[in-house]
Amino acid sequence: MKRNRLVIIGLGRIGQELLKKLPRDFEITCVDLNPDLQERARKLRGDEIRFIPGDATSRLVLEDAGVEDADVVIITTTSEKVNLEAARVLKEHFTPKRVISVGVTQENVEALEGLGVEVENIYIASATGIRNRIEQRSRAAHAIGLCKNEILEVEVHPNSRLANKPIGALAPIRWRIGIIYRDGNIIMPRKDRVLKPRDRVIILGDPAVLKTVSEILTFSFQRFPLEYGSTAVAYLSGREDEGFFNELEYLFSVFPLNRIVFIHTKKAAARSGDFREFISGRGFKNIEERETVLSAHNAIQGVLSEERGEYGLVVLSKDLLVSPDFRRRSFLNNLASIAACPILLSAGTFPYEKVVVPCVEGIDVQRVMDAAFEISSSLNNEITALLVEPSSYISTEEEVKGFEEMKKNISDMALVYKSSVKVPVLKGNPVKAVTGVLKDYDLLIVDTGGWKNRRWFSLMLNPDVVWHIVNRSPISTLLIPPIEESL
């Protein structure tokens, strides 16, 4: 996971105290007119700190400081004019995720707040107070169940990816929302209740998951796949080629996974000779192996049930699904229902430079696009949302309206994530149109919540579009699990 980036404007008393108190996992850039303070900053923080001598009200100086990519910009000077002008330039010419400033007078405080800046009054401002604003603002309310469950109270930050979303769309995995405090009032959560910035929320669930959730709510955080877990499970049938293992290594190099469990058949072990020696020479961390005689579904289910809440990703070779031994659709449907974490069908199409999301019937577009944006924040890749235009001959007015709303929602999400999305519009049969262009991409992302669990005759009359796209996909495919109840 990348380090959080901070820009500190002004190295007076508060600025220098901040350098002392902030954790070492922050990447810090300092801006001050006095070049002599560079040596002082290095003594407090070490050679890794970046110092820019210059006027913080200058757009060029702020650009050089990297404020556009900063997680937080902190203005700590005691000059009313400098603080206000620096804040104005930041807001007019850049889009930092957060700006915190010292307010010198009441008028200055009001002016800064009018710009959307978080303000610490100079008379009570301290490095500790600002540090507490920056760091995760949560506290344990109570612990229950012998470390099996925990309750936390957290404050929703305006830049949280979960802010301004209805509770029913949050997709909680092994956690729940209990009570919301808003403006001194207690609000009972409902699925349609929107979580607002500055709400204080009681959340409860698995301690390993709550830490990640609280960070998501309180600060900018790259979470995939940590909201599910940090352990990968890889099933080996013996059909896997070198590309499968290379893609596994790639996953460990780009995502914060810290453990892998290999479930393998005797055939898989026999193909690789000394299995442990074969896998230990690769870039995996904390390797475990389990030999099994069970079916793939039962073997994976057995491992997942042992430590529910630890697993962040299940990886299978896409070649496994072409075996005549598998009823492919029912196998994936059942596996998705028990996994409660993403499933990757590996086809060896990595690195994931181009990610594609098909916005078709049966897809929870917001949920899948959220996953695409989170992955993109780690990989800096290209995202494409494929739309299929409704037929002018058979589409209803409601379907046409839904199509236009979907385009707008994708555009709005791109603005929220400060990212760009390509939105080509295809025509014709959705399955043929989408699968016809998948070869131009590296990773397909869909969710399994809309898969239809119906008999074959019903499926002939009303095909499951998402399943047919997954089945025909020539590229690696990530299946996002269904949303659990949030209340």
Q: Which of 15-29, 50-64, 115-129, 370-384 comes out lowest in average pLDDT?
A: 115-129
The predicted structure's pLDDT at residue 322: 64
Q: Which of 113-117, 438-442, 480-484 comes out lowest in average pLDDT?
A: 480-484
Q: What is the pLDDT of residues 134-191, one digit of tens each?
A: 654 544 444 444 345 678 888 887 767 788 888 877 767 678 888 898 987 888 888 8
Q: Is the pLDDT of residue 355 over 70?
A: yes
In this chain, the answer to whether the domains covering 138-218 and 231-346 adopt an identical fold is no
Q: Is the pLDDT of residue 449 over 80?
A: no
CATH of domain 4-134: 3.40.50.720
Q: What is the pLDDT of residues 191-222, one digit of tens each?
A: 888 998 889 888 888 776 777 777 778 765 55
The predicted structure's pLDDT at residue 484: 56
Q: What is the pLDDT of residues 119-148, one digit of tens each?
A: 876 655 556 567 656 654 544 444 444 345
CATH of domain 354-480: 3.40.50.620
The predicted structure's pLDDT at residue 97: 84
Q: Does the pTM of the predicted model rise above 0.85?
A: no
Enumerate the domain spans of the chain: 4-134, 138-218, 231-346, 354-480
Q: pLDDT-based confidence at 344, cuts 50/70/90?
A: very high
The predicted model gives 481-487 an average pLDDT of: 59
CATH class, range 138-218: alpha beta
The predicted model gives 87-107 an average pLDDT of: 89
The predicted structure's pLDDT at residue 462: 63
The three state secondary structure string of the chain is: CCCEEEEEECCCHHHHHHHHHCCCCEEEEEEECCCCHHHHHHHHHCCCCEEEECCCCCHHHHHHHCHHHCCEEEECCCCHHHHHHHHHHHHHHCCCCCEEEEECCHHHHHHHHHCCCEEEECCCCCHHHHHHHHCCCEEEEEEECCCCEEEEEEECCCCCCCCCEEHHHCCCCCEEEEEEEECCEEECCCCCCEECCCCEEEEEECHHHHHHHHHHHHCCCCCCCCCCCCEEEEEECCCCCHHHHHHHHHHHHHCCCCEEEEEECHHHHHHCCCHHHHHHCCCCCCEEEEECCCCHHHHHHHHHHHCCCCEEEEEEEHHHHHCCCCCHHHHHHHHHHHHCCCEEEECCCCCCCEEEEEECCCCCHHHHHHHHHHHHHHHCCEEEEEEECCCCCCCCHHHHHHHHHHHHHHHHHHHHCCCCEECCEECCCHHHHHHCCHHHCCEEEEECCCCCCCCHHHHHHCCCHHHHHHHHCCCEEEEECCCCCCC
Per-chain mean pLDDT for the chain: 82
Q: What is the pLDDT of residues 454-473, one digit of tens each?
A: 555 445 556 788 988 999 99
Could you tell me what percent of the chain has a pLDDT over 90? 31
The CATH superfamily assigned to 231-346 is HUPs (3.40.50.620)
Q: What is the pLDDT of residues 301-325, one digit of tens each?
A: 888 887 655 788 999 999 877 655 4
